[in-house]
Chains A and B, each alone.
Chain A
Amino acid sequence: MGKVVLQSAYNRSKVALQKTSRGAKIRIGLLILALILPFLPFSTDYILHIAILVLLYMILALGLNIVPGFNGLLDLGYVGFYGIGAYTSGLLTYHFGLSFWVIIPLAFINGAIWGILLGAPTLRLTGDYFAIVTFGFSELVVLFLTNEIWLTRGPLGLPGIDVVSIDLTLFGGPKWEFIGELPYYYLAIVMVLVTVFVMYRIQDSRLGRAWFAIRDDEVAAVSCGINLLVYKVIAFAISAAFGAVGGSFFARWVTFLSPDMFKFWESFLILCMIVLGGMGNIWGVMIGAVVLVSLSEVLREILPLLGMPVNVRFLAFGLIMVLMMRYRPAGMMPIAAVAAQMRAGRVKRKKVKPAVGIKK
């Protein structure tokens, strides 16, 4: 009896596997690989640490991607939300011992609120101004974190943040604390999966289409009844929310925060992942995170051997940005829409321009 059930389940899964496309197979394969990574012979704590870093940056890059990738606006202050999320989470844990599971939704809301506060007055401006305002905002966040010592302990940093734990003592169960890299690794995988899920769903929805419309042609978008400001603010808020969630995870993972972890470099690095992977492409952005975190770690090892400061690795990132814009402006994994748009103007559309009236 049991055998038969098992057999039919096997057959069903076989059929299901045959039905799945090649892309889906690759995805499932990668997921399985990610799940068994900690048990592979070569995996050490260091490898796991890097892997968690990759996953964290995937969340961040996917969150940022909403603004330049889906809406075509440059956001240079993403790290500000990351920092706000990290410190809020750190302080709430430090002072009130709030559970991680409570903090995550709070962080999401907190990030979204900051996104709205900053976005609502500035998103009516042109893209250039918006970029520079976000930059100024993130610098102000760092200054605040550095100088408000009563709150953040300033440059000394905020140590002793509790690790994540699953506390079932209330129901007479055990309390399990996340010690070492392994539990964080799986937690990060879950968070990435949720983020990817959300992104895919947004992409194929009324909200996503409104953003793509804005990215493509603002005047046409307006004439379809899309309120530009509202939809840009929504985008910015959701993006900021993911930044704050990433920051919360970061705080509880490394259990120590200092203001210089949230400098402009970070925004730049995350932006670079998107540019490299392909703006607007969920998979591309994730691969960008893998490539750049790995590259960054390799350079971090090599550069001191060459007698250079570790920060010099940003030379490579700067160069990547410039070269990508020059030769592959839509990234290594371009999505058609962005690719066409980044080419726009280079290849003039062959539209007949009829007689001109007074135009705007």
Chain B
Amino acid sequence: MKPILEIKKLCKNFGGLEALRDITFEINKSEILGLIGPNSAGKTTLFNCVAGIEKPTDGEIIFSNSARSISIGGKKPEAVTALGIARTFQNIRLFDNLTVIDNVKIGRHCRTKSTFFGAVVRNRYQRAEEKAIIESANHFLDFVGLKGRGQEIASSMPYGDQRRLEVARALATEPHLLMLDEPAAGMNPQESRDLMDLIRHIRDKGITILLIEHDMKVVMGVCERVVVINHGEWLAEGEPQDVQNDPKVIEAYLGTGAADAA
């Protein structure tokens, strides 16, 4: 089966700084892939390149949804979302001042159509669509465990719930691939465990997951395969336990010589 996302020789420079250099790896359909690496290894830049927020300097990103394969490098973020890639942000970016349900409803944007005319006239099509938006928004809130909290203001929710809401909003775009940028950051152990359950649960729905995470417990607990990058370069790839014991990886995290000591 064709991998859902192929990253081929991806490069990204910011002026003179090489944030990513010749990164190549693949994500298989319906797997949970962890992307790890020390601070400033280029993980978020890679995310941004896939999501269309950054334009890759060189290389290819090929996304295959159920229908076809498309090169998405340099495509606009809204187009990438429409193709079926959703993401969350390292520093949560909700629509802070809107209600929880509106946040998720906005996530439905790219799967719905009506605009000015529909809004004003409210014909049968628009009413049906609006009803469907509300239903699916509630469905996704239930799914992440925020049932009945639709009327709260997003920014007033506790941190962990904001993370969940962000996931719900991303799911509302009906992605084939969901990219989570450090979802467990700032969470207590209980919240992390709940998050891991949620991630598995999402995968069981057939959604592929790419996960950046610092919390090794989460990575080891949930990922089936791990890609390590360091200083913007591919470093290692494999099953979590193997990668964890890879001297190169230990060195990257702990510094030169650490592997021998370990």
Contacts and interface: CB of A to CB of B under 8 A. Distances in A.
Complex contact flag A–B (Cβ < 8 Å) = yes
A222 B97 contact: no
A206 B96 contact: no
Given A336-B97, A358-B44, A222 B119 contact: no
Contact of A223 (B43, B81, B133): B81
A225 B119 contact: no
B94 A201 contact: no
Contacts, number: 155
Contacts of B61: none
A21 interface: no
Contacts of A219: 53, 89, 93
Interface residues of B, number: 62
B52 to A, nearest CB: 8
A238 B40 contact: no
B130 A206 contact: yes
Nearest to B113: A206
Given A224-B173, A337-B98, A356-B39, A205 B87 contact: no
Nearest to A225: B110
B97 A338 contact: yes
Which of A210, A216, A360 has the most chain B CB atoms closer than 10 A to its own CB? Answer: A216
A234 interface: yes
A226 interface: yes
Interface stretch (A44-52, A160-168, A347-355): A347-355
Chain A at the B interface: SS class: helix
B5 interface: no
A359 B93 CA distance: 14
Given A216-B97, A354-B214, A205 B42 contact: no
Contacts of A351: 91-92, 159, 186
A349 B155 contact: yes
A253 interface: no
Contact of B119 (A201, A227, A340, A356): A201
B54 A220 contact: no
B187 to A, nearest CB: 9
A341 interface: yes
Nearest to A352: B186
Interface in B92-108: 92-98, 102, 105-108
Interface in A308-355: 336-338, 340-341, 344, 349, 351-355
Contact of A354 (B14, B172, B185): B185
B115 A223 contact: no
Nearest to B187: A352
Return the 4 tightest CB-CB contacts between A and B, nearest first.
A225-B110, A354-B185, A205-B119, A352-B186
17 contacts: A201-B122, A206-B108, A209-B105, A213-B95, A216-B96, A216-B98, A221-B95, A222-B53, A224-B109, A226-B106, A337-B97, A352-B159, A354-B185, A357-B43, A357-B45, A358-B14, A360-B53
